Amino acid sequence: MEGMINYLQSRMSFGSFIEIAIIAYLIYTLLHWIHGSQAEQVIKGLIVVLVLIPVCSWLRFTTLSYLLNSLFTWGIIIFFVVFQPEMRSALQQLGNNRLFKRFIRDNDSKAMDKGFEAIGDAVSHLSEAKIGALIVCETNTGLKDIAASGVTLNADITADLLENIFTPNRPLHDGAVILNPRSGKIIAAGCLLPLTNRHNLDTTLGTRHRSAIGISEQSDALTIVVSEETGSVSYTEGGEIIRHVPVAQLIDHLKTHYNDASNTAENADKPRMLNMRGDGRE
């Protein structure tokens, strides 16, 4: 036993502990990411194959060991090909880590406050009139590819313009608006968003809400949804949807979301619940 301890001490260094910590963090992140996704079952299958490989080698099952090795190698390749969108989402979430956000301090407080006021007024009026709306608030992840699917505006955020865009029978009312509260600009309108692949959502959620969840899974954007059937206001963030939110509470959360990086970690620890209440298809 003492010999083993001495051997481990001779092999371990400070760098080794850092390496182990990084590997453990990556494994934890991977397990957290795949939980509840379609990739979960595939990963479980690969883990079973990985466990069987040394067992077959120990039992001298040469042919079976060769087949399992080949299956594992090709399985990894197939996994990255089939689940390319999910891998992209995972890498984007890694890039949106709060550690990186600490280096981003380009908030224009006056433009933001003016933009938040305009968003609040527009959402209130749209909700009262039961006019559907989908507003994507860009944070740190660039959304140029999403904005390219719509019509470029590069206009100041105003309540009148937002309400005009979502007025029924207007050319852009069915798509999403991409805006940047930091700059106080509406980037584009009539944009197409990716739908979420999750199957455990409330069946009362319509296309707007599923699109809002989809973009929040692939970026750090905060997306506001107004139901055209009930007028209720929801928002999505980090793949979660919070429904039936008062407009004042929504604007307060927007301000918190775009606040200094020093406050981001504190606010991120506040629990968020996935509200699945439904009062009709939205």
Identify the pLDDT of residue 131.
93
Q: How many structural domains is the chain composed of?
A: 2
- For residue 276, being part of any structural domain is answered with no
pLDDT of 103 strictly over 60: no
Q: What is the pLDDT of residue 273?
A: 38
Sequence letter at residue 271? P
Is residue 275 a part of any domain in this protein?
no
Cα separations in angstroms, 133 against 54, 68, 198, 239, 276 = 55, 51, 22, 19, 20
For residues 12-25, average pLDDT: 77
- pLDDT confidence of residue 255: 87
Q: Residue 277's pLDDT is what?
A: 38
151 and 203 inside one domain: yes
In sequence order, which residues have a C-beta less than 8 Å from that of residue 232 and are 6 or more positions away? Answer: 127, 226, 243, 244, 279, 282
- Between 225 and 103, residue with greater pLDDT: 225
Higher pLDDT, 145 or 26: 145
The per-residue pLDDT for 152 is 92
Residue 178's pLDDT band, with cuts at 50, 70 and 90, is very high
Same domain for 144 and 14, yes or no, is no
* Whether 117 and 179 share a structural domain: yes
Poorest-pLDDT segment among 41-45, 154-158, 217-221, 272-276: 272-276
Residue of higher predicted confidence among 234 and 259: 234
From CA 233, how far away is CA 7, in angstroms rounded?
62
| Strand partners for 7 | none
Name the residue range of residue 59's domain. 2-101
Find the CATH number of the domain harbouring 174: 3.40.1700.10
Structure-model confidence comparison of residues 220 and 90, the more confident one: 220
| Mean pLDDT taken over the chain | 78
- C-alpha to C-alpha distance for 8 and 24, rounded to whole angstroms: 19
Of residues 266 and 41, which shows the higher confidence score?
Answer: 41
Most confidently predicted of 99-113, 196-210, 223-237: 223-237
Strand partners, 151: 189
> Given pLDDT bands bounded at 50, 70 and 90, which one contains residue 74?
confident
Asked if the model's pLDDT at residue 49 lies above 70, the reply is yes
* pLDDT band with cut points at 50, 70 and 90 for residue 98: low
Average pLDDT over residues 22-49: 71
Q: What is the pLDDT of residue 120?
A: 94
Residue 184 gets which letter from DSSP? Answer: T
Residues of the chain above pLDDT 70, percent: 72
Does one domain contain both 141 and 250? yes
Same domain, 6 and 57: yes
At 24, the pLDDT band (50, 70, 90 cuts) reads confident
Task: For residues 198 and 150, state if they share a domain.
Answer: yes
Distance (Å, rounded) from C-alpha 126 to C-alpha 233?
9
Look at residues 77, 101, 125 and tell me which one is the last residue of a structural domain.
101
In the Cβ-directed half-sphere of 199, how many Cα atoms lie within 13 Å?
A: 3
Using DSSP, state whether 46 is helix, strand or coil. helix
Give the span between the Cα atoms of 255 and 118, in whole angstroms.
13
Return the percentage of the chain with pLDDT > 90, whole number: 30
